[in-house]
């Protein structure tokens, strides 16, 4: 599973749109999966949700997380690389 950084805006019914938003979403299989999870989250958060417009969706290459995946192999703690942020 991977983490993605999504830059987006949200159109709302009868309200000003939410501009220049950014979020990290963890535990996704692909960029599309990350975007679907974000849209599902926004539909629950905003009753007047109309549309998600994704400006950019890229994999988050956190160098610390990459090295922590090899923690046990190098004698470190394997739990140090878990990510609990995002959605």
Among 4-8, 35-39, 66-70, 73-77, the range scoring the smallest mean pLDDT is 73-77
- The pLDDT score that the predictor gives to residue 5 is 96
Read off the pLDDT of each residue in 67-85 and give the average, rounded to a whole number: 50
If phi > 0 it is left, if psi is from -120 to 50 it is alpha, else beta; for residue 60 that is beta
pLDDT digits (tens, 9 = 90+) for 44-71: 999 999 999 999 999 998 766 556 555 5
Q: What is the pLDDT of residues 11-50, one digit of tens each?
A: 999 999 999 999 999 999 999 999 999 999 999 999 999 9
The residue ranges of every structural domain in the chain are: 2-63
Which residues, other chains included, contact 32 with Cβ-Cβ below 8 Å and sequence gap of 6+?
none
pLDDT band at 78 (very low <50, low <70, confident <90, very high): very low
């Amino acid at each position: 599973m991977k983490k993605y950084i999504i830059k987006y805006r949200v159109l709302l019914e009868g309200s000003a749109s939410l501009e220049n938003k950014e979020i990290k979403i963890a535990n996704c299989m692909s960029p599309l999966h990350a975007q679907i999870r974000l849209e599902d989250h926004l539909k629950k958060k905003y009753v007047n949700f109309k549309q998600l417009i994704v400006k950019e969706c890229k994999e988050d290459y956190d160098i610390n997380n990459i090295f922590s995946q090899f923690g046990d192999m190098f004698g470190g703690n394997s739990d140090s690389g878990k990510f609990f942020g995002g959605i």
